[in-house]
Structure 1
Amino acid sequence: MTVVVSHPLIPLIEAELRRWVGRGENLLELTFLDALFPSGKLLRPTLCVESARAVGGTAEAVLPFAAGIECLHVASLIHDDIVDQDPVRRGRASIAEQFGIAEALLAGDGLSMAGHAAMLSGGPADRVLAATRVVVDAMRHMCLAMMRETELRENLLCGVPAVLAVIRGKTAALISAACQAGALLGGATHAQVESVRRYGELVGQAFQICDDLLPYTVHDRAAGKSAVSDVANRQPTLPVLLAYEAAGEADRQRLVTIFGDDVDPVTAHRDVLDIVTHTGAVTEAARQARTNIDDAHAELDALPAPGRLAELAASVVARHP
C-alpha cells in the first residue's frame, strides 16, 4: 500500500534514482531497477527533502542525498527478504525470488554502494559529512535491530518494550536520519535538527506499527507483501504481543502453539487474526500509531516552514481507522 501517492517530489526523486543506478545494461543494474521501480512509498527521500525545505533549504541541493537514502533503504529490504525468506515485495516477486539468493545479496551490496556514492556526490563538505554520519549511524542501528529481531523469534514473553526497541532501530532510526540529514543539509540550527530528529523518530515508529498491522487489516495485494510472513517466521510483532498480554488463558495457549510448533502458515494467520481482533490488539496498536503522529505534529512548531511534513506524517496512519 502506498503512503505517498501524489507528492510532487516523486518524479524528481525517481529521476535522480535512475541517474545513480544505471539503465539496466548488465545484470546488477537490472536488479537495481527491479528493486527500485515501480517505486514504493519514497517516504524517506521525500522526508529528507521536505525537512531541508522546512529550515530554508532547497530541493535541488538535497535530491542526490535523498536518492542515496532510498538506495540504502531498498538495499536493506533486499537483504531483509532473504533473512525472512519472503518471496513477495511490493506485491510482486522479491529480488531473491526472481534472481536468486546470491544475486540478491550482491544487489543489496551494490545498491548500498550506489547510495553512499549519491550521498557523497556534492554540497558543502561540512554539511554532507554531518548528514552522512547521521545516516551511517542509523544503518548501524538498523543492523543491530534486525539481528535482535531474529533473536526474538518464537518468544512471546519478550515483552512489548523489546519489540518497540526493534521498531526504533529497524525502521524509525533511518526515517529519523533522513529528516535530520535534510535539515543539516538545509542549514538548520541545532534546535531545528533536534525537532526533525524527534519528528522522524515518531513518524518512523508509527509507520512500522502500521506496517505490522497490515497482515490483519488489509488484503495481501494491498499490503504489498505476504500476509502470513510474520506468522510463518514466528516473529512476534506489536499487535501479537498486545494480544498476548490482553488474552485469556485459552487464547494465550493458542498463540504459544502457533509460535512454537509447526503450524500451517495460512491456518496460523487465520487464528492469529481472530485473536488480535477480538482482544482489541489491532485497535490498541492503531491508537499507539496515531499518538505517535500527534506527537510528531507537535515537533513541527519549532520549524520556520514545516510545509508538507504534517501531511506526510498524517498519511502514515491513513491506512487504518
Structure 2
Amino acid sequence: MPLAVSPADDTAVRILEAELLRWVGSGDSLLELACLDALFPPGKLLRPVLCMESAKAVGGTADQVLAFAAGIECLHVASLIHDDIVDQDPVRRGRASTAEQYGLAEALVAGDGLSMAGMAALLSGGPAERVLQAARVTIEALRHMCQGIMRETEIRGDLTCGAPAVLDIMRAKTAALTGAACQAGAILAGATPQQHQALRRYGEQLGMAFQIRDDLLPYTAEDQVTGKTATSDIANRQPTLPVLLAHEAGDEADRNLLTTVFSGGTNPVTAHRAVLAVLTRTGALGRAARMASSCAEQARAELTGLPNSTRLAQLATSAADRPR
C-alpha cells in the first residue's frame, strides 16, 4: 500500500522541524528568513527519515542521528535552492522559489548559509570516529551531486545523449545522497561494514526509483500535485528519462517532433501536450514506470537480514507507486 504524502510520520516531522530550527535559527535576520522559507513547510523529508530509519534498522535509535539527519536535510534543500537558480524555476513545492521570492543574490547566500548550517549539524556530536566516517560518506555524495548537476547542464537540448547518460546523472544527483543518508545513519548507530554498505545500496536504488518517478510526474500529475510547473523541463530544454526513452523507441516523426521541442522556441504548454502524446504512443511512460518499480524491488532486496527494516521496505514500495 503506498504511503501518504510524506514518508515521515507526524512525530518524526515535529522532531525534525524542531531540530532544523535549532540549527538554522528562528528568523531574526534576512538570511535566517530565507533559509526557513526554503525549509518550511518541509517536503517529504526523505533523506533525514532514511538516516534515522537506517540507524534503527541496525539496532540504533533516531536520537543518535537526529542532528546528522537535520544536517542532511539542510544540505539537500540548499542544493534545491541552487538547482532552481540554475534552472531558472520560479516554483518550488507549489509556491515561489527562494530566488523568485527573495532575489537571485539572496537565494545564493541562503543556499550557502543552509550548507554551512548543515555541515555544522553533521559534525556536532557522537563518537568522533563514526562522525568522521559518516561525514566523509555524505561529503563524497555531495561532490557527486555537483558533478551530476553540472553534467545535466551539458546535455540540455541534446536528445542524442541517450537514456544511460540521464541514469548516470540520477545516480550522481539524487541516488548518491539518498544512499549516503542511509549509510551514514547506519555508521553512526554502530553498524557492521556489511550492514552499512547494504543500506547504502538500498538508498541508492530507492533514490533512483524516486527520481524516475519525478521525471514521470510532469506527464502523469497536475501542477498542484507536482509542486512545480509541468512544463519546466521542456522550458529548460532538459531531456529526462521518459523523453529519451520515447526518442529511442519512436519513429522518425516522433524524433523530429521531440528534437524541435527541445531545440527551444516552442510554446511550452503546446509543446507539453505534443510531448505527452509521443510519450504515451511510444510506451515510454510505462517503460519508465517499470524501471522505477525494478529499482524499488532491488532496494527491498538489500534489506534482507535487517530485522528492523519494515519502515524502509514501506518506503521502497512508496517510491515505486507514489502519486507524487
TM-score by length of 1: 0.98
Q: What is the aligned partner in structure 1 of residue 24 from structure 2?
A: 21
Aligned residue type for 2:256: Q
- Output the CA distance in 1 between the equivalents of 2:5 and 2:256: 36
Q: What is the aligned partner in structure 2 of residue 206 from structure 1?
A: 209
Partners of 2:178 and 2:203 within 8 A in 1? yes
Q: What is the aligned partner in structure 2 of residue 309 from structure 1?
A: 312
Q: Residue 287 of structure 1: CA displacement?
A: 0.5
Q: What is the aligned partner in structure 2 of residue 116 from structure 1?
A: 119
Partners of 1:3 and 1:316 within 8 A in 2? no
- Output the CA distance in 2 between the equivalents of 1:175 and 1:201: 6
Tell me which of 119, 143, 146 is aligned to 1:143: 146
Q: What is the aligned partner in structure 1 of residue 59 from structure 2?
A: 56
Matched, 1:126 2:109: no
Aligned residue type for 1:130: Q
Tell me which of 84, 88, 94 is aligned to 1:85: 88
Partners of 1:200 and 1:296 within 8 A in 2? yes
- Output the CA distance in 2 between the equivalents of 1:110 and 1:65: 17
Aligned residue type for 1:31: A
Q: Residue 6 of structure 1: CA displacement?
A: 3.1
- Output the CA distance in 1 between the equivalents of 2:13 and 2:304: 26
- Output the CA distance in 1 between the equivalents of 2:225 and 2:58: 35
- Output the CA distance in 1 between the equivalents of 2:244 and 2:296: 21
The Cα RMSD (Å) is 1.3
Q: What is the aligned partner in structure 1 of residue 184 from structure 2?
A: 181
Tell me which of 258, 261, 264 is aligned to 1:255: 258
- Report the secondary structure of 1:308's partner residue: helix
Which residues of structure 2 form unaligned runs of 5+?
none
Q: What is the aligned partner in structure 2 of residue 224 from structure 1?
A: 227
Q: What is the aligned partner in structure 2 of residue 12 from structure 1?
A: 15
Aligned residue type for 1:254: L
- Report the secondary structure of 2:125's partner residue: coil
Tell me which of 256, 265, 270 is aligned to 1:267: 270
Partners of 2:71 and 2:117 within 8 A in 1? yes
Matched, 1:104 2:107: yes
Aligned residue type for 2:45: L
> Structure 1, residues 55-114: CA drift from partner, whole Å, max 9, x if none?
011111100000000000000000000000000000000000000000000000000000
Partners of 1:76 and 1:108 within 8 A in 2? yes
Q: Residue 175 of structure 1: CA displacement?
A: 0.4
- Output the CA distance in 2 between the equivalents of 1:10 and 1:78: 21
Q: What is the aligned partner in structure 2 of residue 319 from structure 1?
A: 322
> Structure 1, residues 272-297: CA drift from partner, whole Å, max 9, x if none?
11111121111110100001111111
Matched, 1:296 2:294: no
- Report the secondary structure of 1:302's partner residue: coil
Tell me which of 68, 82, 85 is aligned to 1:65: 68
Give the total of aligned pairs: 321
Aligned residue type for 1:38: P
Aligned residue type for 2:55: A
Q: Residue 207 of structure 1: CA displacement?
A: 0.6
Comparing 199-208 with 305-314, which one deviates more in the overlay?
305-314
Partners of 2:157 and 2:263 within 8 A in 1? yes
Amino-acid identity (%): 65
Q: What is the aligned partner in structure 2 of residue 162 from structure 1?
A: 165
Q: What is the aligned partner in structure 2 of residue 39 from structure 1?
A: 42
TM-score by length of 2: 0.97
- Output the CA distance in 1 between the equivalents of 2:275 and 2:49: 35
Partners of 1:92 and 1:224 within 8 A in 2? yes
Aligned residue type for 1:115: G
Matched, 1:153 2:156: yes
